[in-house]
Structure 1
């Protein structure tokens, strides 16, 4: 099969012919109709942050632990393992693959796949699993969001952020989004009750306090963020500013260390190890098919232009998700 392959850290992705994977007993083989790119992909290509090579998450110490990237897929089931009863060839599914989506076929654990939402195209569905799964984990599991709470999303216009705004509204919260000026109208259109342009106003100095802060951008220190929280509020760390050695670990470690003696609760959402189970995907599907959550897609690239799509994502200006069409059928 055709796939974009990473041979070593720092090298470009190259199109290559590799063996078509065979599903194990509890796996399904998906013919990829669409995939998407994330910051994780370009961090993985560079083997950065360096500390991540010691922490696992797919990064080998000296070379990549696997060669095919792409953390989201949507497509048709091609074949199933002998223990798989919930899927059959031809079914439309979306998932996070065990072997990457930058290929004609991807292996997926059956327990981490779900039927594609009926009202989404394959391209839209491929924008969902990792980004929306991370937002769900941050809000529901780490943030313990409740109806009527005040939630602030710092980094509201990115892939995770656009889902976090919509999910917070779906859970009954009052939502404030923080983003750049060009995305203010978009963030308001997906449900934010208030939008702050970070270039004009520092959300940690408005005097308004929130019950939950979903911190994707990592643009303010933990000490500053606590000013934006109620005394019993929760600060959920999802991302942080870039650096070769620690990103986003430096920001995360500093924030967690400073929170030890604080009244507010500070927790980390581990994006690298985020797994999207069928239960979580079905929760997202219900919200999507009800019209309460929809993926925001910035650009769609053909399969042959995956390197260009990753370069655009790395530039840091994507609004919502960057999606890749699957290889020609």
Structure 2
């Protein structure tokens, strides 16, 4: 196995001021690579980083929630380059996330190297590419927590997913179908095929009928009811859904895409150009 070298500096997108992504972010070529790893931490060479709406929203309010300058974003995939005596081996390909508490270290996912606790990463399945895996963690965890831990959805129950074309919504549809539930999901008409492909049994086009109007009509005319409603606007194979992939230098275009609110699935930045 070829040992991956660890440089002293790296390229990183850094949040240096308040504003939109174009105003707040600067691409630096001399951002330091972490040298000190705490017990249980590993160093990753980042393959890809996925964007989340909370990421660009923070740009408008920081530094109240974190210190600047700092590297943004949470979700990532990568390869272990320093095991630091953990359960991982050098060269292990993994995915996971950088928790928000790591803001105090000014480290996020949108860079070439990042340290992260071994508790927040897992091996990447061979049938999932790095760009797919990068977008799995936060959205997938949100949907899983809601459906499996909070409500423990059961076969035969009926759930309404508001925002079925979002990353969380797409995961929620697939997880509900795994459990044998019936799913009605809303999205704009242009995303109907996508939502149905995720497994939705019924589709509501909110551009033609508001979700509230649909709910009122459903309550009046249907003999059944929704057991649960999942608000996802704000998998049978647990398959990550990637809307689009951008090169590292084009991270600002990636933010434009996620801010357009037209993305179906995750918007991913390919940090390592050799990653799929």
TM-score range normalised by the length of the shorter chain: 0.7 to 0.9
Which piece of structure 1 moves more, 204-213 or 29-38?
204-213
1:77-116 mapped onto 2 (5 Å cutoff): 77-82=80-85, 84=86, 86-97=87-98, 98=102, 99-116=107-124
Aligned to 2:51: 37
Conserved? CA contact 1:103–1:327, under 8 Å: no
- Determine the C-alpha separation between the residues in 1 that align with 2:51 and 2:66: 21
Instruction: Measure the CA separation in 2 of the matches of 1:35 and 1:181.
Output: 29
2:230 aligns with 214
Shift of 1:327: 3.5
* Contact 2:14 2:69 survives alignment (8 Å): no
TM-score (norm 2): 0.84
TM-superposed CA distance for 1:297, in Å, is 1.4
Check the 8 A contact 1:9/1:63 in 2, yes or no: no
Q: Does 1:12 align with 2:28?
A: no
Say if 2:134 is the partner of 1:122: no
Superposition RMSD on alpha carbons, in Å?
A: 1.7
On the 8 A contact 2:17/2:25 being kept in 1, the answer is no
Structure 2 residue matching 1:75: 3-state secondary structure? strand
- CA deviation digits over 1:250-283, x for unaligned, max 9? xxxxxxxxxxxxxxxxxxxxxxxxxxxxxxxxxx
> 2: CA distance between counterparts of 1:80 and 1:35?
20
| Match among 201, 211, 215 for residue 204 of structure 1 | 215
Cα contact 1:9–1:64 (8 A) shared by 2: no
The count of residues paired between Structure 1 and Structure 2 equals: 245
Measured in 1, the distance between the counterparts of 2:97 and 2:114 equals: 9
TM-score (norm 1): 0.71
Shift of 1:77: 0.4
CA contact (8 A) 1:8 1:64 kept: no
Distance 1:35 1:173, change over 3 A: same
